[in-house]
Structure 1
Amino acid sequence: MAKILMITGDFTEDYETMVPFQALLACGHEVDAVCPGKKAGDTVKTAIHDFEGDQTYSEKPGHNFALNADFDAVDAAGYDALVVPGGRAPEYLRMNQEVLAKVRHFFEAKKPVAAICHGAQLLAAAGVLEGRTCSAYPACAHEVTASGGSFADIPVTEAVTDGNLVTAPAWPAHPAWLRQFMALL
């Protein structure tokens, strides 16, 4: 079974954090959920994004998601794979150089990476999308292409794999996204 690092933060998307965390644990993988500036036992607030016919997603308060590892103590080299949930967290996590270094490690070592929705913002900021196909929430398409990637405009229920990278537009893609990610594990 794989040892997986999940990098998340306050106002991460609820389903895109809790569902993969629990599903990967249920399949026997070890998952360490971390956030810069927080330790095991601390929580991050989640936000529930929904698609209700508006011009963009709606946002509602979610849950408090308990972290189970200390960000400062994790060494990316000790992990087999990375998960990057979406939501608003990637928007500010991409300004943290330690986060970007951890993300780059997984690409340099060619380890499996799963990113969903706004998680592509973190990948773009880390400079790991050049020449890669990446799906994301459509509002992130410009960031994908501006960083040298090719945006995969796929249905919200689908996912795309490009080498060691599995991406999807949003949480309705969980079955396809997690299935493709677990195939790489």
Structure 2
Amino acid sequence: MTDKKLLLLAGDFAEDYETMVPFQALSMLGYTVHAVCPDKQAGQTVRTAIHDFEGDQTYTEKPGHNFALNYDFDQVRVDDYVGLVVPGGRAPEYLRLNPRVIEIVQAFDQAGKPIAAVCHGAQLLAAAGVLEGRECSAYPACGPDVRMAGGTYMDIPVDQAHVQGNLATAPAWPAHPAWLAAFVKLLGAEIRL
């Protein structure tokens, strides 16, 4: 077992930036990032969507890239990983219906391993029951999910991140610099420039 493996839970129509940027940035830092999706194997892809903020009452959505998975979902063992990444977009909405996905999120949290969730990723944390009595940022439309799960929704600027315990959460992809830095710090790494 290596101490540098991370798990990224992807799914069709996950947000493009929230999937690709963490995967690339964390890989660049030397982590092995296993990107998985239920019912898919390494070499298959998930379709992503680009969410943008263009002055409408909510985000707009456009087709994104096809993101290549590099590990089989059925092979995931939580003990092999030091942290979990949960991108946003529409994927968390249906991933939370998968009992094994819920078990994985719960196991990471019960072990106190760092979890990074952005945007709609909070829907998965809420469904897994890991937000009771905890603070969590998310896309504002997910605030009710956080509150109904017993958590406190943290309404922070879109380019900021919130950390409580093993959770690093953020409202959306503009927070990547703050969110990924917070997650890496929870992982015990230090970046020096």
With the shorter chain as reference, the TM-score category is over 0.9
The one-letter code sitting in structure 1 at the alignment partner of 2:24 is Q
Correspondent of 2:110 among 103, 108, 111: 108
Query: In structure 2, what is the equivalent of residue 92 of structure 1?
Result: 94
TM-score (ref. length: structure 1): 0.99
1:1-185 correspondence runs (5 A): 2-185=4-187
C-alpha distance after superposition, 1:95-124 (max 9, x if no partner): 000000000001000000000000000000
CA distance in 1, matches of 2:104, 2:56: 35
CA distance in 2, matches of 1:99, 1:42: 18
Q: CA deviation at 1:60?
A: 0.1
**Over aligned residues, Cα RMSD in angstroms?**
0.6
The one-letter code sitting in structure 1 at the alignment partner of 2:17 is Y
The one-letter code sitting in structure 2 at the alignment partner of 1:18 is M
Aligned residues: 185
The one-letter code sitting in structure 2 at the alignment partner of 1:124 is A
CA distance in 2, matches of 1:87, 1:109: 26
CA distance in 2, matches of 1:98, 1:23: 27
C-alpha distance after superposition, 1:35-88 (max 9, x if no partner): 000000000000000000000000000000000000001111211100000000
- The percentage of counterpart residues that share the same residue type is 68
Structure 2 stretches lacking a partner, 5+ long = 188-193
Structure 1 stretches lacking a partner, 5+ long = none
Q: CA deviation at 1:2?
A: 2.2
